[in-house]
Amino acid sequence: MLSSMKVFAVVMLASAGHSAAVESKVTPVQKVIQLLQGMLEKGKKMKHEEAVQYAAYKQFCDDVSVEKTKAIKDANDLIEVLKADIQKYAADAEQLTLEIAEHEEAIATATGNVKAAEKTRAIERADYETTHKDYSESVDALERAIEVLKKQNYDRPQASFAQVAALQKVSLIPPEAKQAINLFLSQDRESLAASAPEANAYEFQSAGIIEMLQKLLDKFVDERAALEKAEMNSKAASDMLIQDLTGQIEQDTAARDEKMETKAKKLELKAEAESTLADTITTRDDDVKYLEDLTATCAQKASDFESRQQLRSEEIEAIEKAIEIISSGAVSGAAEKHLPSLAQTKKTGLMQLRADGRSPLQDKVATYLRAQAHTLNSRILSALAVRVGADPFKKVKKMIKDLITKLLEEANEEAEQKAFCDKELATNEATRKEKTEAVENLHAEIDKLEASLAKLTEEISDLTKAVAELDAAVAKATAIREEEKAKNAETIGDAKEAQTAVEQALQVLKDFYEKAGDATALVQQQPQAPEIFDKPYKGMAGASGGVVGMLEVILSDFERLEADTKTAEKESQAEYDKFMTDSEVDKAAKTQGIKHKTKKKQDQSQTLGEKQEDLEGTQKELDAALAYYEKLKPSCVDSGTSYEDRVARRKEEIQSLQEALKILSGEDIA
């Protein structure tokens, strides 16, 4: 884009070159003014259109940046949630794996214990049967021996002795008893060998052995009874143990199956979360890349827009200045006075443009300053170029020197201001950063404490409510159990009575249909008689079969009802016992939880008060730092261009002014 002064020069030359073709009433200056005014309007319009265009683009940048920033934040939040979920699902699956293994180990152990208990019971039963048989045989032998001895069968003494002698073969007879029996038998045989004893003498000799045998009999009977009782207790204990182990196996199996299903669900949820996480990360990364590119592009466009607007403003200002200058009496008046003669001689017109009494050096300086103003984009040099062409020679030199002095003074003042600003801004930035971080940390801690307190309050309320509900559930379960127990007893009684009644009804029907099966056929009626049955009536054969079948089904239903009710009663009692135990443990745990959380809530409430006091003090310090920063901004921050650019630009302006002085002094410049 040409500078305003170059445009002005080109237009002036073009107007002068074609003045012969212009009507005598329109001077070249007036034509230039018209052209410049057209350029001015076009420049303003283009500047406005460019501002409107950039406003729309900036709005797009802002909207999309906000949208993408929110999307990235939401994605990051979701990623953290998904990672936590994945970690939790994995931990749950791992814990469930351990618990499943524990259940399987418990099932295997209980199964082994059942087999061991059954084997032990079989061995105990075999031992019992052997021992019981020995006791029974011993008791039988003793009873027969005592009976024989008490009858004192003198006619068959050998049979009595044989019966007593048979006791020696009984395994349970103690050795001392067997010795007494041998002694008895040897004495009685010797007595019988000599002569038949008198009844009293024989009874006297048998009395001792009978008493001994009676004691043995009583002993064996008592021991056999004790053995039977021990066997019954052992069997009951074994049955109870096997029943408990079987129940434990069923519970562990059900728990294992449930946890295996839960584990599969956890792993499925983990896989879904991992898939969602991968998609979210990909989308988030794409958004981050897009936002970075958009931010860079928008920043570049903003910088370009500012430069373009600055350049357009300076161009408009230059055109306005040119119009002002050309429209002034010094130019426009002279043009009206002299330029019409250009219609006759072009050479004379060009001479008149320079006939203003200026020094050639001033023209050279003005040209140089205009060129430097365009190169450096300096409004100071541009304005000075105009002044150089208008003011006297000495005044121009003084003005340049004064301007150099002023620029040097501004440089010193700005350097001092820069040092002050750098120090104060650095200190203020450190303070603001420190206090901002402290405030943010305190806000985060307070939010965390408030959330924790709200959660603790809710948990304490929930636990208190749960304890109350647990007590109510225990009371309700006890009432239900008592009612259910009574109802089951009534149902079992009713089922038994119903079975008896149905069996009686079945028997009545079966007896009837058995008799009805022997009925004879009736004689066929006369041909003219209406049609009637021609088969013997054996009762409602189809219906009877249906009724009997229905009664048999009903009977089986009542039998099943009795069995199912007994089983249900047993299971309900077991479930009730387990529920009461679990409830007691659960209540103790919840009560302890309430106590612990109440203490924790008190501690956190105290900490929250302390943090709020710290936040109030830190916020005041941050507000003070921010207020001081706002005071520094007008002089230290919002200066439009950087300090380095201003120093370089001022240095080049000073150098250009010094070169201009050299030109005015008649020195050549490179």
CA dist 331 and 327 (Å) reads: 6
Kindly tell me if the per-residue pLDDT of 553 is higher than 90: no
Residue 19 is predicted with a pLDDT of: 42
pLDDT averaged over every residue in the chain: 75
Q: How far is CA 316 from the centre of its chain?
A: 62
pLDDT of residue 54: 82
One-letter amino acid of 81: V
Mean predicted confidence (pLDDT) in 418-429:
78
Provide the percentage of residues in the chain whose pLDDT is more than 90: 21
Distance in angstroms (rounded) separating the CA atoms of residues 477 and 580: 9
pLDDT score for 297 = 83
- Give yes or no for residue 149 having a pLDDT over 60: yes
Within-domain flag for 334: no
What pLDDT is stored for residue 107 in this prediction? Answer: 94
For 74-124, write each residue's pLDDT tens digit. 999 999 999 999 999 899 999 999 999 999 999 999 999 999 999 999 999
Residue with tokens 């000495």: 394
Q: Which domain holds residue 577?
A: 422-516+539-636
Q: Is pLDDT at 602 greater than 60 in this prediction?
A: yes
Q: Let me know if residue 123 belongs to a domain.
A: no
Q: Assess if residue 19 is contained within a domain.
A: no
- Is the pLDDT reported for residue 395 higher than 90? no
**Whole-Å CA distances, 391 to 320, 358, 384, 394, 399:** 20, 9, 10, 9, 10
pLDDT at 544 (0 to 100):
43
Q: Which two tokens stand for residue 201?
A: 């003498």
Residue 236 lies in a domain: yes
The band of 216, judged by pLDDT with boundaries at 50, 70 and 90, is: confident
- Asked whether the beta carbons of 27 and 340 are under 8 A apart, the reply is yes
Is the pLDDT at 566 greater than 90? The verdict is no
The CA distance from 639 to 223, in Å, is 118
pLDDT at 430: 85
Domain-located, residue 20: no
* CATH code (residue 582): 1.10.287
User: Where residue 278 falls among pLDDT bands split at 50, 70, 90?
Assistant: very high
Two tokens, residue 531: 């049609």
Q: Which of 194-203, 397-406, 472-481, 652-661 is predicted most confidently?
A: 472-481
Q: Is the pLDDT of residue 548 over 50?
A: yes
pLDDT at 336: 54
Q: How does residue 578 score in pLDDT terms, banded at 50, 70 and 90?
A: confident
Which has the closest alpha carbon to 537: 517, 508, 514, 557? 517
Give the model's confidence band at 128: pLDDT under 50 very low, under 70 low, under 90 confident, else very high.
very high
Q: Which long-range contacts (CB under 8 A, 24 or more apart) does 418-421 make?
A: 418/643, 420/636, 421/632, 421/635, 421/636, 421/637
pLDDT(240) > 80: yes
C-alpha to C-alpha distance for 237 and 241, rounded to whole angstroms: 6
Cβ contacts of residue 71 below 8 Å, gap of 6+? Answer: 283, 284, 287
3-state secondary structure of 97: helix
Q: How many domains does the chain have?
A: 2
Tokens of 57: 């683009």
State the CB neighbour count (10 A cutoff) for residue 73: 11
* Interval 144-172 mean pLDDT: 65
Confidence of residue 507 (pLDDT cuts 50, 70, 90): confident
In whole angstroms, give the CA distance from residue 22 to residue 326.
Answer: 19
The predicted model scores a pTM of 0.35
Of 324-328, 581-585, 609-613, 655-659, the poorest mean pLDDT is in: 324-328
The owner of tokens 């304490």 is 460
Structure tokens at 413: 């003042």
* For residue 589, pLDDT beyond 70: yes
d(CA 67, CA 69): 6
Residue 152 DSSP code:
T
How many residues does the structure list for the chain?
Answer: 670
Within-domain flag for 30: no
Q: What is the pLDDT of residue 202?
A: 44
Question: In the listed set 275, 291, 308, which residue is the last one of a domain according to the structure?
Answer: 275
Specify whether the backbone of 277 is left (phi greater than 0), alpha (psi in -120 to 50) or beta.
Answer: alpha
CA distances from 81 to 88, 454, 456, 508, 558 (A): 10, 21, 22, 76, 58
Q: Is residue 569 part of a domain?
A: yes
**For residue 389, how many C-alpha atoms fall within 13 Å in the half-sphere facing its CB?**
19
pLDDT at res. 203: 47
Name the range with the highest mean pLDDT among 120-129, 166-175, 213-222, 402-411: 120-129
**C-alpha span between 94 and 104 (Å, rounded):** 15
Q: Are 57 and 359 in contact (CB under 8 A)?
A: no
Task: Collect all residues with Cβ–Cβ distance below 8 Å to 312 and sequence separation of at least 6.
Answer: 43, 46, 47, 50
- Which of 139-153, 203-217, 538-552 is least confident? 538-552
CB-based contact 495:562 (threshold 8 Å): yes
The least confident of 128-137, 152-161, 206-215, 582-591 is 152-161
Residue 512: pLDDT band (50, 70, 90) is low
Residue 156 lies in a domain: yes
Q: Which two tokens stand for residue 404?
A: 């150099």
Residue that finishes a domain, picked among 221, 254, 275: 275
- Which pLDDT score, from 0 to 100, does residue 550 have? 60
Segment 18-57, tens digit of pLDDT: 444 444 455 555 665 676 677 778 878 887 887 888 888 8
Write down the pLDDT at residue 429: 81
